[in-house]
Structure 1
Amino acid sequence: MNIISRSILLDLMKLFSFWLIIMSMIMMLITIGQEAVRMNLGVGPTLKLIPFALPAALSFAVPATILFATCFVYGRMSAENEVVAVKSLGISPLVLLAPVLALSFLLSLVGVWLFDVSYSWGHAGTQRVVIQSIEEIVYGMLRTQRSFANPRFSIIVKSVDGRRLIRPIINFQPNNDMPAFTLTAAEAELQSNLDENTLSLILIDCKMDTDEGLTFDWPGRTVQDIPLTFAAAKDVGESNPAHLPLRKMTAAIETQKLTIAELEQSVAAETGLALMTGDFDLLSQAAWQKRQNSVETARLRLYRLQSEPWRRWASGFCAMAFVLIGAPLAIMWRNSDYLTTFMVAFLPVIPYWIFLSQCLSLVKSGDAPPAIVWTANIVYMGAGVIMIRRMLRN
């Protein structure tokens, strides 16, 4: 590496490192603050979110920071006629761009890893902290709002006296074949057991009413244990394709294809049996729709699984796409005001994420192949190459 390249790379690394720390801290505070306010988390659980929020903050801070450093360094060089001086020595401007292109490529690979970690490990860790803090969350909301609710579990109380819930009404909405039911009691208390991942409801003079019209009375003290994941309406696991690590994606895709094939064979077998036996109830609209829904749900999961690797690689390589636009723009702009250059180069960033999300939606619905997720990257990289060629001519 020659002296010019080393000097440019050193300037880039200094600016990039300094602003990456600042921007990552800002984005991490925003992410953690939103989650803490939304879930009414205390100081302890909020601090536990920091390591899990860091990969997500870095994954978005890296592209913006390298774009800022690029605009600063190459904008200053162009404004001080260093680019003109290099050209007068017969050196191609591509020599000046080589350090930032190499750096952005390496950062793009790091970005792919950061997106993978944030979607899998970071998300699971955040959910785990929220689940383990559900007792504190529920008590906090009951003291301030007299109610707590999520899609599976809700509590309304008359008042809160220390840890005693006065006249609670507790509603359960199971997500399986069990009927919904409501518990009412003179008073209650919540205790979480992290070793067993359960939340204990200690009820005094409890009454249960089911949606089927059944009523049960339990005088005295009754203890009802429910899973922490149920109380928080959050599942820590890899059921959601977006939260699978890349290393498990290929196996999950193959497994899902086998599941779809088995469902289709089952539907065909049941249909054939119904036609042979004359049991036309099995061919009714309701029964047929239920089978088709199960197959369609399996296909949608497959589409989401197939889109994730493309999404993470495309999201990671946005750093290189932005640099390919920012570097030649900063040189052609010939403006020492690097903030202006950065803002001009940053303008396409917002449309990039919007376009990427639209392409991703098409892939998830099965209306487009997974490769379309890279469309935004290809467009931006192509525009950058055109700008570099124009810069070389001028």
Structure 2
Amino acid sequence: MKKLQRYVLFELLQVFLLTLAGLTALIFVALVGREAVQKGLGLGPLLRMTPYLLPQAMQFAVPGTMLLATTSVYGRLSAANEVIAAKALGISPWRLAQPTLVLALLTSFGAVALNDLAVSWGRLGVQRVFVESLEQVIYRQLALHRSYAEGGVQINVKKVDGRRLLMPTVTVQSSDGGEPWTISSASAELRSSPDRRKIVVRFDGIHVEGDVSIANKEAVEREIDLAEVLGAAEGSRSPSNYALGEIDRELREVARQQAEVRHEQATERTLAMTTGDFDRLGPDAWAPLERRLRAHERHSRRLALEPYRRWANGFSCLAFVTIGVPMAIWRQKGEFLASFFLCFAPILLAYYPLLMVSVDAAKAGELPPLVVWVGNAVLAAWGVWMMRRVVRN
């Protein structure tokens, strides 16, 4: 029995590793192409992004590869009547599935760590490389299309002559809702700050700021804070970009901020009651505090959801395998792709819709974060039901 289990495990590892390498490479090329097309990056920045994009490619490849390897190996076993022979010897199909379930369990733990790495270190790394390469990107886009727009930055020019922008109009809107500014001039030039976190725009000659024309022989320089206009500032960091180890600390910080807002509200109520200045409780004075409190509550809910979502996503490997093993055995055919798509169809039609609906409900506070495991539970229950039928038949 152990020899048969070792054989199954060896075959599974072979198919899994080979398929994982191919599928990861395919997804990686697609991610690189997306960055190149959407953001106009050159070869240098794309090469610097490689280590950050690799975990993201593997994040998508691992669950599908686990399912494909499972249907391939057990499809061949069933087609060769080895499962029937094992049952004739009194060996339950559950024993045949045991090494695969153990491997899927270990892979799921690895997938959780991989997901955490991809959404925190990987995404932030891609964003950092993009920000550091933005000067080169802007010049390329302006030379090709005579316009550039990303986040809160919009630049239009008549022509690009080397590093000089002819007849440029630059509009900048901060992501924190600050006042936008627009400047037009006869020519301008861009350069990155030494730390590459800002773009300095040098406007030459007569320029128009807003609706005011200013005749100035000296150049005018304005700085564009990339973290602010691209939404990459620390305060605007998405909860999905926090590592699991950072979430508890951030939740405590959000709780502290919520307590501060509630303290401000209590102070305003007290002052209004003691001084008779009830305008302090009017909509104009009270609404900003309510908005801040609701924003902290939304941020807190999304942070609390992230660990559940990442663990559920990682353990999709185990959930996929629970339906892949009985489906491949039940079909008794070596055409593993047919078994794969028979398994993947309900995953696509049921698992991912359930995951998205549950995530949205948890973000809105309508359901507890634990609800994101519903999709995994449905697949596992279905897989156990199918496996019991395989054992009985």
TM-score tier, shorter chain, comes to over 0.9
CA RMSD of aligned residues (A): 1.9
The alpha-carbon deviation at position 181 of structure 1 amounts to 2.0
Residue 389 of structure 1 is matched in structure 2 by 388
Instruction: Report the AA paired with residue 321 of structure 2.
Output: V
1: distance between equivalents of 2:249 and 2:129? 28
SS in 1 for 2:141: helix
The alpha-carbon deviation at position 62 of structure 1 amounts to 0.7
2: distance between equivalents of 1:358 and 1:221? 54
Residue 365 of structure 2 is matched in structure 1 by 366
1: distance between equivalents of 2:91 and 2:151? 65
Residue 191 of structure 2 is matched in structure 1 by 191
The answer (yes or no) to whether the contact 1:155–1:171 under 8 Å persists in 2 is: yes
How do residues 1-394 of structure 1 correspond to structure 2 at under 5 angstroms?
Answer: 2-175=2-175, 179-195=179-195, 197-210=197-210, 216-230=214-228, 232-235=230-233, 239-350=237-348, 351-394=350-393
Instruction: Report the AA paired with residue 89 of structure 1.
Output: L
2: distance between equivalents of 1:184 and 1:90? 83
The alpha-carbon deviation at position 194 of structure 1 amounts to 4.5
The alpha-carbon distance between structure 1 residues 176 and 388, as it changes in their structure 2 partners (threshold 3 A), is closer
SS in 2 for 1:348: helix
Q: Deviations over 1:261-293 (max 9, x none)?
A: 221221122122123222222222232222211
2: distance between equivalents of 1:125 and 1:367? 33
Q: Deviations over 1:349-382 (max 9, x none)?
A: 2131221111011111111101101111111111
Question: How many percent identity over aligned positions?
Answer: 36
1: distance between equivalents of 2:57 and 2:151? 28
SS in 2 for 1:205: strand
SS in 1 for 2:224: strand
SS in 2 for 1:347: helix
2: distance between equivalents of 1:377 and 1:385? 12
Deviates more, 1:158-167 or 1:140-149: 140-149
Instruction: Report the AA paired with residue 270 of structure 1.
Output: E
2: distance between equivalents of 1:275 and 1:207? 53
The alpha-carbon deviation at position 12 of structure 1 amounts to 0.4
Unaligned runs of 5+ in 2: none
The alpha-carbon deviation at position 114 of structure 1 amounts to 0.7
Instruction: Report the AA paired with residue 118 of structure 2.
Output: S
The answer (yes or no) to whether the contact 1:198–1:225 under 8 Å persists in 2 is: yes
2: distance between equivalents of 1:104 and 1:14? 14
The alpha-carbon deviation at position 232 of structure 1 amounts to 4.5
Q: TM-score, normalised by structure 2?
A: 0.94
- How many residues of Structure 1 are paired with residues of Structure 2 in the alignment? 392
The answer (yes or no) to whether the contact 2:78–2:84 under 8 Å persists in 1 is: yes
The answer (yes or no) to whether the contact 1:62–1:319 under 8 Å persists in 2 is: yes
SS in 2 for 1:165: strand
The alpha-carbon distance between structure 1 residues 98 and 41, as it changes in their structure 2 partners (threshold 3 A), is same
Q: Deviations over 1:46-93 (max 9, x none)?
A: 222221111111111111011001001101111110001111112222
SS in 1 for 2:91: coil
Q: Deviations over 1:195-236 (max 9, x none)?
A: 3532221221153524xx666553233333333334645447
2: distance between equivalents of 1:338 and 1:177? 54
SS in 1 for 2:370: helix
The alpha-carbon deviation at position 143 of structure 1 amounts to 1.3
2: distance between equivalents of 1:137 and 1:236? 23
Unaligned runs of 5+ in 1: none
SS in 2 for 1:127: helix
Q: Deviations over 1:128-173 (max 9, x none)?
A: 1110111111112211221112342211111111111001111122
The alpha-carbon distance between structure 1 residues 52 and 10, as it changes in their structure 2 partners (threshold 3 A), is same
The answer (yes or no) to whether the contact 2:132–2:196 under 8 Å persists in 1 is: no
The alpha-carbon deviation at position 326 of structure 1 amounts to 0.6
Instruction: Report the AA paired with residue 332 of structure 2.
Output: R
The answer (yes or no) to whether the contact 1:127–1:236 under 8 Å persists in 2 is: no
Q: Deviations over 1:331-359 (max 9, x none)?
A: 11111211111110111221312211110
Q: Deviations over 1:223-255 (max 9, x none)?
A: 333333346454478832111100111222222
The answer (yes or no) to whether the contact 2:173–2:180 under 8 Å persists in 1 is: yes
The alpha-carbon deviation at position 109 of structure 1 amounts to 0.4
2: distance between equivalents of 1:73 and 1:176? 53
1: distance between equivalents of 2:318 and 2:175? 44
2: distance between equivalents of 1:255 and 1:378? 33
